[in-house]
Amino acid sequence: MSDHIRIVLVNTTHPGNIGGVARAMKNMGLSDLCLVSPKVFPHRDADARASGATDLLESAMVVDSLDEAIADCELVFGTSARERHIPWPLVDPRELAAIAAPLQGKAKVAILFGREDRGLTNEELQRCHHHVHIPAVDSFSSLNIAAAVQVITYELRMAALAEEPMNKPQWGTNWDIDLAEQRELELMFEHLERTLVKIDFLDPDNPRQLMPRLRRLLQRAVPDKIEVNVLRGILTAVERQLPPAPVKDDDDV
């Protein structure tokens, strides 16, 4: 029912938690589990906590990098327990479900869960279109990772089961163009960064918050494929205007 949802666990330390996640997912009708560099996996503790969901552990995709985990996803949510330096579009689990559930058959959605002790890094969070926060009490806000997956997958299932039509997001459903995949976005951001360096707008030695700000802006809009192509076309047109790079003397090498 919700095969467009991928749960991505980044650098999980305790294999028991991976098992707990698999069980929570299977309870709620999900099956697409991806593990980015788990510390210990497979492991008997994972099997024990999975308690009948070992099929999800066996079919889990294990990859080395977050890039691989989300390359084919059009919409990426990152779980975040705390306020970040740059605020990011933030939803609660119910809002996440209202956005993601109707994308069944239309877009692949990844939901990222970070390390047990310190969550996702800022760089990982900046790869996300939206952040999702489970509204725990401020003084004790860190949920067990399997518990966090349980809450979010529960909301996805409630949304999928709801008979009344959900509020449609403005993109993704009834949109004219397919949404861009994450790898297309990454190539665009790399192209953008290169070009900004060439036009002396971005100083590689002092990048400040420029790329995060541009990522946040563009990802907030969840670009479609044509929009990404247009943006890359503009960057190429800018590059064509630039004077040729000076040929370096051998002495400079």
Q: Which of 52, 65, 118, 190 binds its own copies (CB under 8 A)?
A: 52
Q: Which of 40, 67, 118, 233 binds its own copies (CB under 8 A)?
A: 233
* Gap between the Cα atoms of 63 and 35, Å rounded: 6
Residue 147 sits in the site that holds its own copies (CB under 8 A): yes
Residue 20 sits in the site that holds its own copies (CB under 8 A): yes
> CB–CB of 54/26 below 8 Å?
no
Q: Which of 161, 178, 194, 203 binds its own copies (CB under 8 A)?
A: 161
Which residues 6+ apart lie within 8 Å of 49 measured at CB? 16, 17, 18, 19, 20, 22, 23, 146
| Counts of helices then strands in the chain (DSSP H, E) | 10, 7
* Gap between the Cα atoms of 6 and 30, Å rounded: 8
For residue 179, the 8-state DSSP code is B
Q: Which of 6, 10, 12, 23 binds its own copies (CB under 8 A)?
A: 23
Which residues 6+ apart lie within 8 Å of 199 measured at CB? 238, 242
Residue 121 sits in the site that holds its own copies (CB under 8 A): no
* Gap between the Cα atoms of 22 and 117, Å rounded: 20
Stretch that binds its own copies, among 65-73, 84-92, 100-108, 118-126 (CB under 8 A): 84-92
Site residues (CB under 8 A) for its own copies, limited to 193-222: 196, 199-201, 210, 213-214, 217-218, 220-222
Contact set with its own copies (CB under 8 A): 20, 23-24, 26-29, 49, 51-53, 83, 86-90, 92-94, 133-137, 140-144, 146-147, 150-151, 154, 157-158, 161, 168-171, 174-176, 196, 199-201, 210, 213-214, 217-218, 220-223, 226-227, 230, 233-234, 237-238, 240-243
